[in-house]
Amino acid sequence: MLAGMTSSEMGDWHLFYRERFFQDAQLDAHFSTLLYTISTFLYRDPDITPADFSLLSPSAGAGTDNEQDDDALMLAAEGITGGTRYGPAD
């Protein structure tokens, strides 16, 4: 993409993205597509779609049936950073 872009076009894109940062949906789409590409390359599962890897718009199969309680969400958050989450003292 950059090879076919002139310097003035590159400058225009730079100005555009300086004012409009990457939105959550755009980043989610990029990373879910990247994970989909890697997964299809490694596993060749025909049933996988990019929506399976999306964090913001989960597939239709997942969702309301699997709602987690607060304790499960706190436990998951502890594992993300490897640290310990502290709550208010009871």
What CA–CA distance (Å, rounded) separates 2 from 80? 35
What CA–CA distance (Å, rounded) separates 18 from 1? 19
What CA–CA distance (Å, rounded) separates 23 from 30? 11
> Is 50:36 a contact under the CB 8 Å cutoff?
yes
| pLDDT of amino acid 33 | 92
Picking from 45, 46, 63, the residue whose alpha carbon sits closest to that of residue 54 is: 63
pLDDT mean for each 10 residues of the chain (90 residues):
80 80 78 90 86 74 62 69 59
| pLDDT of amino acid 59 | 54
The domain locations on the chain are: 7-81
| pLDDT of amino acid 89 | 60
Tell me if the pTM is above 0.85: no
